[in-house]
Amino acid sequence: MNATLLFRDLELDAGILWSKVLEIIARQYPLKFFFAGNMLCCVAYGELQPMQGTRPVKFKVGENMVEHGLTYTQKENLKIKIVGRAIVDIDGIPKEVRAECGKTPDDAIREYRLIHLSTPEEVKAAVRKIYDNTVINKMSGTMTAFGEPFVQKGDVVHLFEENKAYNDKKFLVTAVKYTFNEKGYRQIITLGNEYNE
């Protein structure tokens, strides 16, 4: 599929290298560039979502989970500020509008260039949506489980561990490595964002 993108709010110096242009664009938009043969390709990306019709796979420490090195981070402890900028027409004059959400030091700022927005209110709403989708409960690290029940990337794991903040919560599977050795068939499962239906 071919698409045309208009980066009307992207300011570039004359004589800048194309590689630098692509680097600037990739920093500000959810795009990745690569070469396939002699063709430059671009892919838009987003967060991994559960596969349609996924049913949560239950794992309980001491039953079907061998071990884990999981760390649960609640959204209240995430220190991220989202800043969005967009060019909107105000009284027929294109002006840059800036909106932000979250209160943290400058080293935790994530900036976004927003396109196809018409009013400052739309810019604020878009930044709020990005913030709400970014600042969520997350699990990092891996857990090792037996080969059954079988899990694959995109599944949802329902975790049970007594006296833990993540007990009876669901998380998205971001990667799985399968091993078979003298201890038997194992799955090393990497978990990501908390999943809410």
One pLDDT digit (tens) per residue for the chain, 197 residues: 444 445 555 555 666 777 777 777 776 666 777 777 777 777 765 555 655 666 788 888 888 888 888 888 888 777 888 888 888 888 888 888 899 888 766 667 788 888 788 889 999 999 888 888 888 888 888 989 888 888 888 888 888 888 888 888 888 888 888 988 887 888 999 998 888 77
pLDDT value, residue 132: 83
In this structure, is residue 51 part of a structural domain?
no
pTM of the complete model beyond 0.75: no
In this structure, is residue 167 part of a structural domain?
yes
In this structure, is residue 25 part of a structural domain?
yes
In angstroms, the CA 13 to CA 192 distance is 39
- Going from the C-alpha of 76 to that of each of 135, 138, 162, 194, the distances in angstroms are 8, 11, 22, 14
In this structure, is residue 70 part of a structural domain?
yes
In this structure, is residue 52 part of a structural domain?
no
Residue after which a domain boundary falls, among 134, 151, 178: 134
Which residue type occupies 183? K
CATH number at residue 166: 2.40.30.150
Residue after which a domain boundary falls, among 87, 110, 134: 134
In this structure, is residue 33 part of a structural domain?
yes
Question: Does one domain contain both 67 and 163?
Answer: yes
**How many domains is the chain built from?**
3
In this structure, is residue 120 part of a structural domain?
yes
**Residues in Cβ contact with 95 at an 8 Å cutoff, skipping those fewer than 6 apart:** 87, 88, 89
Question: Does one domain contain both 3 and 39?
Answer: yes
- For residue 184, the cross-strand partners are 181
Give residue 97's domain range: 79-134
Question: Does one domain contain both 111 and 32?
Answer: no
Count helices and strands in the chain by DSSP H and E runs: 2, 13
Which residue type occupies 99? A
Question: Does one domain contain both 144 and 70?
Answer: yes
